[in-house]
Amino acid sequence: MFRSLILLLTACAFSLSASAAQKPNIIFILSDDLAQGDLGCYGQKLIQTPNLDRMAKEGTRYLQGYCGTSVCAPSRSCLMTGLHTGHCPIRANREIGKEGQKPLPAGTITVAQILHDAGYATACMGKWGMGMFDTTGSPLKLGFDHFYGYNCQRHAHSYFPTYLYNDDKPFNLPGNTGKGVGQTYAQQLISDEVVRWVREHKGGPFFLYFSITLPHGSFEIDDQGIYKDKPWTELQKNYAAMVTRLDSDVGRLLATLKECGIDDNTLVMTAGDNGSSFDPTSEMGRIFDQASNGLRGYKRGLYEGALRQAALARWPGQVPAGRVTDEPWAFWDFLPTAAELAGAKIPEGCKPDGFSLVSFLKGGPAPKRDHFYWELHEAASLQAVRWGDWKAVRNGPETPIEIYDLKTDAAEAHDLAKERPDLVAKAEELMTSSRTADPDWPLVQKRAGKGKKKP
């Protein structure tokens, strides 16, 4: 009898252990302003990115992975909430006080909360930008067990700040003034903490949101490395070194997964929070040719060049190696994807706009959907919608809708609006039905006093 009880308990324990082991670890690496054109696997010739290029060979590279929108806070909010910017509570960068941004409101459900409730250890490392610790938008109130780095995106403009946060507690960085290069490089500390935390939680399952500030300006780095003697401007050398440093930190994380023996049970996705950052005629744009993919537009717009970002996925034995696909997906698909992988139920009241990508990640077709939708409220309220291969852009509610056929005109060079009034009407209908009116985000042609560039 006693022996039977022991065998039963042992079997139950093994069953629970096996069940936990079947849940994959999930890592989402979000790079601040990294563009497709910055990576060798997308065609970059001058900047070296060997780890991300290898990740592309060992996994899948996406040509039409869409960000939430083309600036920091709302794009990240889409990733966390599974909502596009027609429904997301954050639809622009809005600064609050001396430190912090407009917080995600009470009642917001995030992917971290869903995974935490499914038994995952959760951590956010790098930059948050969706609410300070004393607000409803604190990462520690939205499903993350641990936070390390910058909360405020303005604070994150310095790579040599005077302090960072460990959870909600600030700690000083010696030798830094927050202005220019100092003694303590924040990204090194953040990368060290990522490795420490992964090793500590290698028993899994865990969710790591590694929100790297690189290569966002200010363009500062502790070592220009292999670019030091290039015949470039200092900003160009710094930018190239920042992208390569980002690449080395990704490589360090991937090496840690192998060292811990959890490589085969970990999905790693990487993305930029928007598409190209620079005007092609600018100091950076000219030399690094971020627009080499032939797309129109860059950060703070809603043309394809601003929305398609550098996106990779790697999961040995699950995500096909060497695959390149032009089927589209968007940030708001991540929440339902993670929930399915974790075997987690999406709570009542949480109605994501996205679809699970699990089958797509594993080599199947992208999920079918009616359309994609974006909006942005900076100097003016911009809207864009894509259905099938048709794309519509409206650069303000009083501005005519533009229509493009992405199948034949990915560069959005030929506006078909006058020829296809039926598509204009369809676009207007989708732009209206895809958004929930919100007093914080009225549709305005030009916001008085606005127009200054933001993070």
Give the 3-state secondary structure of residue 146.
Answer: strand
Residues 6+ apart with CB under 8 A from 316: 58, 263, 264
The answer on pLDDT for 168 being more than 70 is yes
Cα Dmax for the chain: 83
**pLDDT exceeds 80 at position 449:** no
**pLDDT tens per residue, range 101-147:** 999 999 999 999 999 999 999 999 999 999 999 999 999 999 999 99
Those residues with Cβ within 8 angstroms of residue 387's Cβ, 6 or more apart along the chain or in another chain: 370, 371, 372, 426, 430
Whether residue 264 contacts residue 316, with contact meaning beta carbons closer than 8 Å, is answered with yes
Strands 323-325 and 60-62: parallel
The domain locations on the chain are 23-361, 372-433
3-class secondary structure, 154: coil
Q: What b-and-e string marks burial along 131-151, b requiring 16 or more CB atoms within 10 Å of the CB?
A: bbbebbbbbebbbbbbbbbbb
Lowest mean pLDDT among 1-10, 11-20, 133-142, 208-217: 11-20
Q: Lowest mean pLDDT of 4-8, 342-346, 386-390, name the range.
A: 4-8
Taking 50 as the threshold, does the pLDDT of residue 7 lie above it? no
Q: Is the Cβ–Cβ distance between 394 and 402 less than 8 Å?
A: yes
Report the amino acid identity of residue 176.
N
Residues 235-271 have pLDDT tens digits of 999 999 999 999 999 999 999 999 999 999 999 999 9
In this predicted structure, the answer to whether residue 369 has a pLDDT above a threshold of 50 is yes
Q: Can you give the pLDDT at residue 350?
A: 93
| 313 bridge partner residues | 60, 269
Sheet holding 146-150: strands in order across?
169-172, 163-166, 146-150, 121-127, 206-212, 25-31, 266-272, 311-314, 60-62, 323-325
Indicate the pLDDT class of residue 91, thresholds 50, 70 and 90: very high
Residue count of the chain, please give it: 455
CATH number of the 23-361 domain: 3.40.720.10
CA 251 to chain CA centroid, nearest Å: 18
**379 vs 191, which has greater pLDDT?**
191
Q: Is the fold of 23-361 the same as that of 372-433?
A: no
pLDDT at residue 156 greater than cutoff 90: yes
Return the higher-pLDDT residue of 15 and 342.
342
d(CA 247, CA 236): 17
The Cβ of residue 55 has, within 10 Å, a number of other Cβ atoms equal to: 24
* pLDDT, tens only, 178-224: 999 999 999 999 999 999 999 999 999 999 999 999 999 899 999 99
Query: What's residue 9's pLDDT?
Result: 46
Domain 372-433 matching CATH 3.30.1120.10: the answer reads yes
DSSP characters over 279-322 = -TTSHHHHHH-GGGG-----TTS-SHHHHB--EEEE-TTTSPTT
pLDDT of residue 455: 54
pLDDT at 340: 98
**What's the burial of 14, exposed, middle or buried (CB within 10 Å: 0-12/13-18/19+)?**
exposed
Lowest mean pLDDT among 17-26, 57-66, 216-225: 17-26
Continuous segment of H or E residues that includes residue 384:
strand 381-387
Q: State the average pLDDT over residues 297-303.
A: 96
Q: Report the mean per-residue pLDDT for the chain.
A: 93
Q: Is the pLDDT confidence value at 422 over 70? A: yes
Question: pLDDT tier at 65 (50, 70, 90 boundaries)?
Answer: very high
pLDDT 10s digits, 309-341: 999 999 999 999 999 999 999 999 999 999 999
Average pLDDT of the segment spanning 160-181? 97
